[in-house]
Amino acid sequence: MRKKRCIFCNSLNTKRYGNRSKKRNTSFGKRNLYYQRWYCNDCKRAFKPNQDHPINFSMQIRACKLYYDSEASYRAVSRQLGITPYRIFKIINTLGANCKSTVDMASELKPRWSGYLFIDEKRIFIKGVEWFLLLAVDLKTQDIVHWDLVSREDETNVAWFLIIIKMVIKYPFKGVISDLLPEFFGTVRWLLPGIPHQFCTYHAYRATEFYLKYHYTGGNKLWAEKFLLIARIICRCKVLSTALRA
Report strand pairing: 116-126 vs 129-138: antiparallel
pLDDT band at 246 (very low <50, low <70, confident <90, very high): low
pLDDT band at 162 (very low <50, low <70, confident <90, very high): very high
Rounded to whole angstroms, the Cα distance separating 132 from 210 reads 23
Mean pLDDT (the chain) is 83
Q: Which residue has the higher pLDDT, 62 or 222?
A: 62
- C-beta separation of 121 from 132 below 8 A: yes
Q: Read off the pLDDT of each residue in 104-116 and give the average, rounded to a whole number.
A: 91
What tens digit of pLDDT does each residue of 123-133 get? 899 888 999 99
Q: Percent of the chain beyond pLDDT 90?
A: 20
- C-beta separation of 121 from 114 below 8 A: no
Domain range summary for the chain, segments of one domain joined by +: 14-97, 102-195, 202-245
3-state helix, strand, coil in the chain (%, to 5): 40, 25, 35
Judge: domain 102-195, CATH 3.40.30.10. Answer: no
